[in-house]
């Protein structure tokens, strides 16, 4: 670029009553007004004519901004990556270890009024949303909102006290939208005995009792089947498995 002083960027909304554009030539912040609706923003990038650059070139791109009101909110946990090939725990169960904090993710959903299909969409920014968290049993865990750089969600930390049990976390957004999530706080699963020695015969049987944990267990068949025929037989109500 021979003459950087002639470089230009612009972000021009077609309807000023819906949005306000803030920022400079490197980045822009789009802020919705109190009006609900959609508008296009034309982003222009290029350069002006100068003595060193007589050919002016400007590239334009259109971005549609939907200013909507959230219709519902959802609260979920951020799960660690599972080992490849293993099934995931049921989505309706939120079992977590009571010795470590868990990350809570609050997202919001709504509809753009100018879209024909009326499809529900997740909000890309919740920076103006305030949420209040309530726990029905603070002897088991507490919740603390966190600062973060992911504008499309609100993040909080659930801090267990080290006890097992069930705790319900409720969230009320500032528009009185409500959601909740029930945590099943459990200890680490243990096997009793941790090792066994078997006579190498198909008629020999042994049992290993798995206690604690979430109650959702499986066998890694590729590693087990080449040596023994192992099966999960029964899950008891006291969170132990045989």
The overall average pLDDT reported for the chain is 84
**1 pLDDT above the threshold of 50:** no
Residue 239 pLDDT exceeds 60 = no
- Decide if pLDDT at 3 tops 60: no
For 204-227, what is the mean pLDDT? Answer: 78
DSSP 221: H
Span 54-80, mean pLDDT?
88
* Partners of 38 in the β-ladder: 66
Q: How much is the pLDDT for 104?
A: 93
| CATH architecture, range 72-186 | Sandwich (2.60)
Mean pLDDT across 119-147:
91
Confidence of residue 152 (pLDDT cuts 50, 70, 90): confident
Q: How confident is the model at residue 162 (pLDDT cuts 50, 70, 90)?
A: very high
pLDDT band at 240 (very low <50, low <70, confident <90, very high): very low
Phi first, then psi: give them for residue 223, nearest 5 degrees: -90, -25
CA distance 126 to 208: 49
> CB-based contacts of 219: which residues, under 8 Å, 6+ apart?
230, 231, 232
Instruction: Give Rg (Cα) of the chain.
Output: 27
pLDDT at 21: 92
23: left (phi over 0), alpha (psi -120 to 50) or beta: left
**For range 210-239, the mean pLDDT:** 71
Tokens linked to 20:
């306000």
Does residue 5 have a pLDDT over 70? no
CA-CA distance, 193 to 190, in Å (whole number)?
9
Domain borders along the chain are: 4-67, 72-186, 188-242
The pLDDT assigned to 144 comes to 94
Cβ 176 vs Cβ 188: under 8 Å: no
Q: Which residue would you say has higher pLDDT here, 89 or 61?
A: 61
Pairing verdict, β 58-67 and 37-47:
antiparallel
Per-residue pLDDT at 84 exceeds 80: no
Cβ neighbors of 23 (< 8 A, separation 6 or more) are: 11, 29
Residue 42: predicted pLDDT: 95
Tell me the average pLDDT across 50-70: 87
Q: State the pLDDT at residue 89.
A: 67
């Amino acid at each position: 670029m021979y003459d950087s002083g002639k470089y230009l960027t612009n972000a021009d909304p077609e309807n000023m009553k819906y949005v306000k554009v803030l920022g400079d030539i490197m980045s822009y912040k789009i802020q919705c007004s109190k009006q609900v609706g959609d508008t296009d923003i034309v982003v222009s990038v290029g350069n002006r004519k100068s003595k060193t650059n007589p050919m002016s070139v400007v590239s334009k791109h259109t971005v549609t901004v939907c200013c909507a009101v959230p219709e519902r909110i959802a609260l979920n946990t951020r799960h660690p990556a599972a080992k490849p090939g293993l099934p995931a725990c049921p989505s309706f169960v939120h079992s977590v270890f009571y010795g470590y904090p868990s990350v809570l993710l609050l997202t919001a959903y709504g509809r753009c009024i100018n879209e024909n299909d009326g499809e529900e969409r997740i909000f890309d920014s919740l920076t103006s949303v305030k949420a209040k968290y309530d726990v029905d049993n603070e002897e088991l865990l507490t919740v603390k909102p966190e600062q973060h750089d992911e504008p499309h969600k609100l993040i909080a930390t659930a801090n267990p006290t080290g006890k097992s049990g069930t705790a319900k976390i409720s969230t009320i957004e500032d528009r009185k939208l409500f959601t909740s999530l029930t945590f099943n706080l459990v200890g680490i699963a243990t096997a009793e005995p941790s090792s066994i020695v078997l006579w190498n015969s198909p008629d020999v049987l042994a049992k290993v009792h798995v206690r604690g944990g979430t109650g959702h267990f499986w066998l890694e068949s590729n590693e087990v089947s080449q040596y023994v025929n192992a099966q999960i037989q029964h899950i008891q109500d006291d969170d132990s498995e045989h």
